Amino acid sequence: MVSDAEELSEGADPVAVAVENARRKALAVEAAAPVLGVDTVVVLDGAIYGKPADAAEARATLSRLSGRVHEVVSGIAVVEAGEMRTASAATRVRFRDLDAATLDWYLATDEWRDRAGGYAIQARGAALVAGIEGDYLNVVGLPVAALLDLLPGILQGGAQAGV
């Protein structure tokens, strides 16, 4: 279920922004089962890059990331039995140098749409990446290791398996 929570797009602390957005998403959904909210942002030189509004913004973001190392920060929030638990994860991603032809190719795929930082590492966006340090699944958009720390019983199919 997708929430209609309003997301923050700016803040001094990217971790706090991602966790707050995850918290808002989790609180916006009413369910008998536990609710998981997740938000991912890209951070470069202290600036937060969310989902580009259009292809021009995607090009500008990808151009800034070109040849540089940025951080992908995810916040997760779980609401269960009226209790809120949160966590975060961060992964460093190093982009290849992106020339105009590569940018044109990637933007034409439309894969940048609805993606923090304007790319999807799990698909064609992998061609933009030279390497990562940290949790690959965090860059995809769900830091599973952090989720398992919040909900260790999920693997055993306990009460938390509804997430």
Q: Return the pLDDT at 5.
A: 75
What type of residue is 97?
D
Q: Return the pLDDT at 55.
A: 97
Cβ-contact 30, 87 below 8 angstroms: no
How sure is the predictor about 161, in pLDDT bands with cuts at 50, 70 and 90?
Answer: very low
Q: How far is CA 98 from the centre of its chain?
A: 22
- Per residue in 87-146, pLDDT tens? 999 999 999 999 999 999 999 999 999 999 999 999 999 999 999 999 999 999 999 999
Kindly list the distances between the CA atom of residue 58 and the CA atoms of 61, 81, 140, 142, 155, in Å, as whole numbers in the listed order. Answer: 5, 40, 17, 22, 37
Q: Return the pLDDT at 82.
A: 85
Question: For the chain, what is the total number of helices (H) and then of strands (E)?
Answer: 5, 5
Sequence-separated (6 or more) residues with CB below 8 Å from residue 9: 17, 48, 50
As given in the structure block, the two tokens for residue 55 are: 């292809």
In angstroms, rounded to a whole number, what is the distance separating the alpha carbons of residues 67 and 74? 22
- Per residue in 66-83, pLDDT tens? 999 999 999 999 998 889
- Per residue in 30-62, pLDDT tens? 888 889 999 999 999 999 998 999 999 999 999
Q: Return the pLDDT at 51.
A: 92
Cβ-contact 119, 112 below 8 angstroms: yes
What is the CATH T-level fold of the domain 14-158, as seen in this structure?
Answer: Maf protein (3.90.950)
Cβ-contact 111, 123 below 8 angstroms: yes
Residues designated catalytic: 39
- Domains of the chain by residue range: 14-158
Average pLDDT value for the chain: 91
Phi, psi at 94, each rounded to 5°:
-105, 120
